Amino acid sequence: MTDIPVLTIDGPSGSGKGTVAQLMAKKLGWHYLDSGAIYRVLAQAAIKHNVDLADEEKLSDMAESLDLVFSLNGESLIVLLEGEDVSLLIRSEQAGNAASKVAALPLVRAALLNRQHDFRQLPGLVTDGRDMGTVVFPDAKHKVYLTASARVRAERRYKQLKEKGIESNISALEAEISERDDRDSQRDVAPLRPAIDAVELDSTSMGIEAVFEHVSTLCADV
């Protein structure tokens, strides 16, 4: 346990949690952890090294020694796997789906806990994911659970991917997002759900700016 403050923002894919978390980290001058990127990189490493996405033992060994570096280039998060820039590669919906397969394995989640705790550095940490408020940082003082309808999340994802130069199809994205939501919420370990002390926000008809304002108000005491 430490006194270093943490703001956790959990929620399903496309709820806007990553954008809001980055804006909050910037506003507060705190560190930022994109926990989903860790699962995405692990899945990418498995694909690269021909490891089956269900091989729990091998994957948890890989998770322990994963050669992963995060750095910020202006607003963009640069992700290096074994020295190779995989920032774009890990953002496709297929990469998200592969990530949710490895993320359902208990030994993999356990192997990644310390790596996530290491991000808790002064002056504070903003983190987004699925289990930030429930499992990884249960003592965080500020917890938000952000959601939105699957259709709206698919539309947002479509825009985000387009901005990154990745072409996609909204209906296919909606189906993939729903499949991933089901896997993430029905798994036995650290399922997607709000922490008991989280503030729940439905962003279906709210713009990102309004969500940011709301979360800023919640954190007015930090």
Residues that bind ligand C5P (CB under 6 A): 13, 35-36, 39-40, 96, 99-100, 103, 129-132, 180, 184
Task: Tell me how far, at minimum, the Cβ of 50 lies from ligand C5P, in Å.
Answer: 21
In this complex, which beta carbon is closest to ligand C5P, that of residue 30 or of residue 137? Answer: 137
Nearer to ligand C5P, 20 or 99 (CB): 99
Q: What minimum distance in Å lies between the beta carbon of 26 and ligand C5P?
A: 19
Distance (Å, rounded) from C-alpha 43 to C-alpha 52? 9
Q: Provide the minimum distance between the beta carbon of 149 and ligand C5P in the complex, in angstroms, as a whole number.
A: 17
Least CB distance from residue 221 to ligand C5P, whole Å?
Answer: 25
Which residue, 13 or 87, is less far from ligand C5P as judged by CB? Answer: 13
CA 192 – CA 121 distance, rounded (Å): 25
Q: For strand 84-85 and strand 76-81, is the pairing parallel, antiparallel, or unpaired?
A: antiparallel
Inter-residue contact 156 to 207 (CB < 8 Å)? no
Burial of 64 (0-12, 13-18, 19+ CB in 10 A): middle
Residue nearer to ligand C5P on the CB measure, 106 or 123: 106
